[in-house]
Chains A and B, each alone.
Chain A
Amino acid sequence: MIAEHVAFGIIAAVMVASALRVVTTRDIVHAALYLVIVLAGVAALFLLVGAEFTGITQVLIYIGAVIVLFLFGIMLTRTDFDQDTETDHKRKLPAILTALLLLAVMIGALVDRFEDVKLDANLPGGQTPQTTAQVSDKLFSQYIVPFEAVSVLLLAALIGAIVIARREEGG
């Protein structure tokens, strides 16, 4: 029981520190690599609460595909390597205030409503892992229509990305 808390605390601390580096570092490649740590932390949390399939998908899609896409984007849009380009706005105060205000509202609401609610409160026998079999049963029966819709969306996004990014002289 206590091990769960310790594991969560370590993962959460690493994730928040890395996320702060993602939005503050001046080197874009470093931001992408810090983002890897955050995404891996999210996957670890999913495994911690027994969501095995989503955790593995997180690693495959985010760390495997999205980060590679980001690194390609950085590589193709690097402007001047010698001149250090400004990555942030000059005045950060409004952004900091907005984020802090939002955080205060959300923390207030969450603490007010979910204070001392155990994650396994609905399960007297403790947390049960939600297996891949259960997820696929639900996904391919009750959620088959959204599943198909999302595959059409992916196809549309694929074609759209090709059309947007292709060079004009080819036709």
Chain B
Amino acid sequence: MYLNEMLLLGAVLFCIGVYGVLARRNGVLVLMSIELILNAVNINLVAFGAFHDTVQGQIFALFVITVAAAEVGIGLAIVLLLYRNRRSIDLDQVDLMKG
């Protein structure tokens, strides 16, 4: 197997995630796109770990998974609070700080 197969797949997933973050208006869907980005990063970490035959790639991927879980928890709590206050999770309407 080539190293580039994994890395290119990671790049494609990353860019799909970036598109999702930019194009989506729903708060939950933006969080899902962020998960895509973080998974692309994990693919790269594990691929390089296997390439260099160390477990460090796996360990960093585990840390990324943990931080992603914390991020989803906080992110969904914020989206929930947004919904409770505005009755909508449309991110375009969250522009109170716009000058």
Q: Give the secondary structure class of B's interface.
A: helix
Distance, CA A45 to CA B36, complexed state (A): 15
Assembly CA distance A158 to B12 (angstroms): 32
CB proximity of B50 to chain A, nearest CB, Å: 4
21 A-B pairs within 8 Å (CB atoms) are namely: A8-B1, A12-B9, A23-B24, A35-B36, A38-B36, A39-B39, A45-B6, A48-B1, A50-B50, A54-B62, A57-B65, A69-B76, A77-B80, A95-B22, A102-B15, A103-B12, A103-B15, A107-B8, A116-B2, A130-B55, A154-B70
Give residues of chain A (7-51) contacting chain B, Cβ–Cβ below 8 Å: 8, 12, 15-16, 19-20, 22-23, 28, 31-32, 35, 38-39, 42, 45-46, 48-51
Contact call B18/A102, Cβ cutoff below 8 A: yes
The answer to whether B52 and A117 touch across the interface, beta carbons within 8 angstroms, is: no
Per-residue contact bits, chain A 134-171, to B (CB 8 Å; 1 contact, 0 not): 11001100010010001001101110111011010000
Whether B29 lies near A73 (C-beta < 8 A) is no
Please give me the residue from chain B that is nearest to A146 by CB atom: B63
Q: Which residues of B contact A139 (CB under 8 A)?
A: 59, 62
Interface size class of B (residues with CB under 8 A): 35 or more
| A119 CB to nearest B CB, Å | 5
Residue pair A77, B89 in contact (C-beta under 8 Å): yes
Minimal beta-carbon separation of B84 from chain A (angstroms):
8
- Please pick, from A38, A116, A161, the residue contacting B74 in the complex, using a CB distance under 8 A: A161
Cα–Cα, bound, A95→B51 (Å): 33
Q: Are A65 and B20 in contact (CB under 8 A)?
A: no
Pair B25/A119 contact, Cβ less than 8 Å: no
